Structure 1
Amino acid sequence: MDHATTKRNQELQRQWYGAPLGELCRDLCGLFGMTQSGLAEILGVSPAMLSLVMRGQRARIANPDAAARLSAVLHLAHDVRAGTVPPGEVVDALAAIRANRTPGQDSLGAAVTQPSPAGEPEGDGDLCFALRLRDLFNARAGAAEILEAAALLDAPHPGLAEILRTCGAGRTDEAVDLVRRLAPRPEDGRRGRS
């Protein structure tokens, strides 16, 4: 990979995440006393993939679950530095982030429903909708971009900002709760506005 592409990827990372991922990941490893392989395990990516992103050979982590976990680890680091998460709770918090969503499961460990032969989701429709919405957001932007967009919308459109934050960069169970709270239901005639 040429130097110009690496620089471009690092500049994109700076726009999306606030700094190149190499800097951010080294900072996270130092703060939490873990190796790069340990961080990769929490994110749910291979150490080689994390290394490519850290060196700027890839601009972002393409896996939406791993990108959401990175966002959660960055938020945890902020909370640890702010003193809102005590050091004794960090190991459990990191384990919870790692378990947030694994292939075939939602963040609560329940099986993710598969589409029926007709292409319609079976099972929990709110879960399916929340997962599709998150996949849609993450196909277009990384967690940092989603959070940045939510911050821009906070004052003029707080409801939209909440949807972006929760469904685009939040935990699956929180997204399902939001969908259940806001989505219109044919039986009650709600319009979904807050």
Structure 2
Amino acid sequence: MEQTEQNLRQQTELYGEPLGVLMRRIAGTLGLTQARLAEAIGLSAPMLSQLMSGQRVKIGNPAVVSRLHRLDLLVHRVTEEGLAEPQIAIELDDIRGSTGAFTRSTPASAPPSSMPTASNPRPDQRPDPRTVVREIQDLIRGVASAGEVQRAAELIAAESPGLAELLLTYGTGRTDDAVAHYERHR
């Protein structure tokens, strides 16, 4: 029992709260079974159970952490914005299919200038705004929680309102709103 309590304390240090509390809140708000939650974040059901019960401390796969973070942000949007079931299903599919914050679509041996990215597309292609926005969101959300982004925006709002808006729009806002922001300022 002592080891489990220590594991739960370590989870709180790593994730802000024990994973069981976090995952039950996500599953409850989104109407997911434990099996569907495991599928959405890319874990086996037994591994999810071990993490939720405190038998294991840490999620080793960064892509799983990224998906879990995105689900937590989705829960925030559901409670704040009242997203409808069809939109929740779309978001869940998008999260389930995501690969995490860092992906490489071409071999590492390719010269950097030839690797197409949202910011450096092939010469014959213009970057898709949604792709650019998703990369920015993944970057911000990969380094800070929604609460951290909100606190940072509050701290700089008086002196840099545009930068505060940027942080909130891409760090905690809806993708559609961020795409509209991107298109207005591009």
Match among 51, 54, 78 for residue 52 of structure 2: 54
CA contact 2:8–2:18 (8 Å) conserved in 1? no
SS of 1:58's partner is: coil
1:23 corresponds, among 15, 21, 24, to: 21
Q: For 1:175 and 1:143, how far apart are their aligned partners in 2?
A: 15
Partner of 1:145: 148
Q: Which amino acid aligns with 1:158?
A: P
Residue identity over aligned pairs, in percent, reads 29
Structure with higher helix content: 2
Matching of residue 99 in structure 1 with residue 99 in structure 2: no
Query: In 1, Cα distance between the equivalents of 2:142 and 2:58?
Result: 16
Paired residue secondary structure (1:99): helix
**Pair 1:98–1:61, CA change in 2 (3 A):** farther
Shift of 1:127: 4.2
Moved more, 138-147 or 174-183: 138-147
RMSD of aligned residue pairs (Cα, Å): 3.8
Amino acid at match of 1:75: R
Cα distance between partner residues in 2 of 1:144 and 1:37: 28
Residue 62 of structure 2 aligns to a residue in which SS? coil
Alignment of 1:1-194 (within 5 A): 4=6, 6-14=8-16, 19-41=17-39, 43-46=40-43, 47=45, 50-51=48-49, 53-55=51-53, 57-58=57-58, 62-63=62-63, 64-76=66-78, 78-79=79-80, 85=82, 89=84, 91-100=85-94, 102-103=97-98, 118-121=114-117, 122=121, 123-125=125-127, 126-154=129-157, 156-183=159-186
TM-score, normalised relative to structure 2: 0.61
Q: Give ranges in structure 2 of 5+ residues lacking alignment.
A: 100-104
**CA distances 1:161-190 after superposition (whole Å, capped 9, x unpaired):** 33223323444443332222123xxxxxxx
Name the count of aligned residue pairs: 162
Q: TM-score, normalised by structure 1?
A: 0.59
